Amino acid sequence: MLGNFANGTAVLAPAGMLSELSAGLDVTIRDAGLLITFGAVVLCIGSPLTAWLTSRIERRTLLTATLALIAVTNLASAFAPDYASLLIVRLIMLAVSALYTPQAAGTAALIVPPEKRGGTVAYIFLGWSLAAAIGLPLVTFIASRYGWRATYDSIGVAALFSFLLLAWRLPGGLVGAPVDLKTWVDVGRNRLILLLLLVTTLQIAGQFAVFTYMGPLLARLTHVGPDAVGLAFATFGVAGFLGNVIATRFVDSWGSYRTSLLFMSALLAGSAIWALGAGNFAIMAAAVAVWGLGFAATNSMQQVRLIGAAPALGAASVSLNTSALYIGQAVGSAIGGLFYARELFHGIGFVSMGLVALALMTVILTKPQKPSY
């Protein structure tokens, strides 16, 4: 879970310091946002590829090595002399970190009994909630006062700390089911898995159309400063943490479908409030809180449902879900960047709302015939 915190903060970090990256590297806000867009492309390709290449590696070795590389690449980012260098180092980091979240979920499923699997996988994903609740506000705070280089140093130290804890506490000898060509064929034939992957793509695209540029959008539409932007990120993250805690408590009794439906509805409500209230900071902050409730919980439920739908295919399906997540990031951040460059600031919210609404309709299509997942 702490590894997911370090990984999530590293992945999301540019969104919390777009203005500082833009000024420090002498590029536009949209160019700084492309650090997320291009990174998402690498992540969506890297997740299934690394799942296949590393499926036979013992899990403690795999996960600790991944965190060590995340630490090294973030420390190296602090010394990047220009935008191109920073982009290259980031893409290397993301190519490695692509495997962490799906393999962490798969490893959690190996060390608990089946009846506790749903809550445990959701708990592992709390790390991403903490990345949004604590990591992003800290990124905004450090970058606005000490610069973006100090921010990358801090992320590198956090990843190193997580590496040490994981090496100390994770049991050795854990090996998951190997991923081979037949595994991918079986995943492709599973209608439920394909629909769930579509849900992930749509809801993440809807969120990242706004989330990538949330700081600059708040500044342009409401004329607030970095501290208010940091407060908005903190509100989003704390709400995400609370939502995931609630989902973790309820999923084993409610079932992952109903839990997913509830928190996807929160995503839609939050995006609608943002779109309709754009220009008023109080309303936009309220939208962020409602939206945040569904952010991490929805992603946790996606992983729980994928593992429950076909446990033998869990490593492959969760890695593909990570790819779908990053495809959504790439699509959403690209759409947001296009609208932002044309100063269509209000339109971004309505695009977000439409994509999340499509995701919710797709969730309804995945309603199980019996409460098995």
CATH code (residue 180): 1.20.1250.20
Q: Which residue has the higher pLDDT, 256 or 90?
A: 90
* Per-residue confidence band for 297, with pLDDT thresholds at 50, 70 and 90: confident
In a domain, 153, yes or no: yes
Q: What is the pTM of this model?
A: 0.76
- Up-side HSE of residue 233: CA atoms within 13 Å toward CB? 32
The answer to whether residue 372 is domain-embedded is no
Q: Of 186-195, 317-326, 343-352, which range is least confident?
A: 317-326
Most confident by average pLDDT, 144-153, 171-180, 314-323, 330-339: 144-153
| pLDDT bracket for residue 108 (50, 70, 90) | confident
10 Å CB burial of residue 285 (0-12, 13-18, 19+) is buried
Does a structural domain hold residue 191? yes
Dihedral sign of CA atoms 321, 49, 15, 249 in order: positive
The boundaries of the domain holding residue 297 are 2-365
Q: What is the pLDDT of residue 180?
A: 62
- The count of structural domains within the chain is 1
Q: What is the pLDDT of residues 218-263, one digit of tens each?
A: 999 999 988 898 889 889 888 988 888 888 787 777 888 888 899 9
Average confidence (pLDDT) over 96-115:
78
Flag whether 370 is in a domain. no
pLDDT of residue 159: 94
Residues ≥6 apart with Cβ < 8 Å to 15: 33, 36, 136, 211, 212, 213, 214, 215
Residue 274: how many CA atoms within 13 Å on its side-chain side?
34
Position 107 in a domain:
yes
Instruction: Indicate if the pLDDT at residue 181 is higher than 70.
Output: no
Tokens of 127: 């790390």
What pLDDT shows up at residue 372? 44
* Confidence check: pLDDT of 51 > 60: yes
pLDDT over 80 (residue 119): no
Q: Does 373 fall in a domain? A: no
Question: Does 270 reside within a domain?
Answer: yes
State residue 262's pLDDT score.
92
